[in-house]
Amino acid sequence: MEPQILSSYNPATGLEIKQYKSLTAEQVGKNLKKAHKAYTQWRSSAMKERTALLRSVAKSIRKHSDAAALLATREMGKPIAQSRAELEKCAKTFEYYATEGPRMLQDELIFSEGKRKGYVSFQPIGVVLAVMPWNFPYWQVFRAMAPVLMSGNAMVLKHASNVSGCAMMIEKIMKDAGVPAHLYQTLLIASSAVASVIAAPEVAAVTFTGSTAAGRKVASVAADNLKKQVLELGGSDAYLILEDADVAEAARMCLEARMINTGQSCVAAKRFIAVKSVRKSFEAALSELIKQVTYGNPEDPAQQIGPMARPDLRKELHSQVTDSIAAGARLLHGGFIPEGPGAYYPPTLLTNVKPGMPAYSEELFGPVAVIIEAKDEADAIRIANSSEYGLGGAVFSRNRKRAEKIARELLDAGSCFVNEAVHSDPRLPFGGVKHSGYGRELSSFALREFVNIKTVVLG
């Protein structure tokens, strides 16, 4: 593991922000040993100590919120208002676990028969490696970290190289919060070094958020070393607009869900599946709304969309759009690379999207909305489930009971919402099925991913 230079660039200007020197293999080894030592002390901490620490982290996040938000905006292009909102959500998640964590981790009595008693206890397992992406540079990390620390574990972070500044900001936030030395550490390493960290004896488990392709590699190495993993991977969320939907309201929610974070979210709305009877009216409503969406300098609070995180990602997205158009999709808005600096891509709307087109089957990771026509409700459900992904989905209908049945029983996804855009909430488990991964983040389920679910019997 030779040292490498990790560079962060401002995608709005294309200019380099800062270079970071990656750690050597020897430095990583020493840091992992320190993390394991910190874990052996933290695992015995009282719940009162853990909750106090989590509240301190929440306070520190808010203290550094302005500087951290601006850094995220400059490193990956997130509109500044969304960067600030991301950090507040992180703080609230730590407060949630500080409040609810002790109850969730209480022993569960299974039986009590005279002197004989059997119960389940939830004990920490060690150092958890978090391999995280750039699109939500704080939320992805902190939402995984809160339950890890609450359950008595330690964490080391390998962040995406283009947001190394955000990774170091997290380190600063944790240090200022008074987190015990080495209980949390940022490892500045290249992606090529991840496998050796997973294999290290000090690492007990891995949590990964990112592409399905990268998730396969992480899962393979973790499996070879018999280590637990939680994988939150790609998504191509389907939003079903049924014949009795409030079309205007559905269009508004769908557009907001598609354009959040400049469309660079695993759980963003990716496919709008409208039944034939409302397809034209939905298309017209969405087309009118998308024309009003502005894009530009992400440091301007008035802008709704910033640049994409990297020029290569924009190039890939544009190829998916143009290839779909060449195969017969109809472009209603956007679909071009703007002149000038920055990795900007305009809000784009494609319709007449059919099987065989990239826009039909591939994940479009950017501000591109796709409309697919279904013959009827049954056909809409079929199309939604035809994807290899299964992260989230939504149903729009005035018949709430029928929509709930579709969401609960008929859609293949980890999160299904009715008349509302899919989003994460610390109170609710978050994760996917099929090629969107396995395991769950957030809620009580996250607390039980990285613990020894231990049976204890007293005879």
DSSP letter at 161 equals: G
d(CA 185, CA 361): 38
Cβ pair 359, 348 in contact under 8 A:
no
d(CA 423, CA 268): 8
Does residue 266 have an active-site annotation?
yes
Task: Please name the residue that has the structure tokens 């009282």.
Answer: 46
Continuous H helices in 271-417: 276-290, 311-326, 358-361, 377-385, 400-405
Q: Which token pair is 453? A: 């679910």
Cβ pair 454, 120 in contact under 8 A:
yes
List the end-to-end C-alpha distance of the chain, in Å, as a whole number: 52
Pick the catalytic residue: 266, 363, 373, 441?
266
Cβ pair 453, 120 in contact under 8 A:
yes
Cβ pair 314, 366 in contact under 8 A:
yes
Cβ pair 346, 258 in contact under 8 A:
no
Continuous H helices in 139-246: 139-150, 164-176, 194-199, 212-224
Cβ pair 326, 353 in contact under 8 A:
no
Pick the catalytic residue: 75, 86, 95, 232?
232
238: Cβ contacts below 8 Å, ≥ 6 apart: 270, 271, 273, 383, 384, 387, 393, 394, 411, 413
Does residue 416 have an active-site annotation?
no
Sequence letter at residue 229: Q
Catalytic (active-site) positions: 232, 266
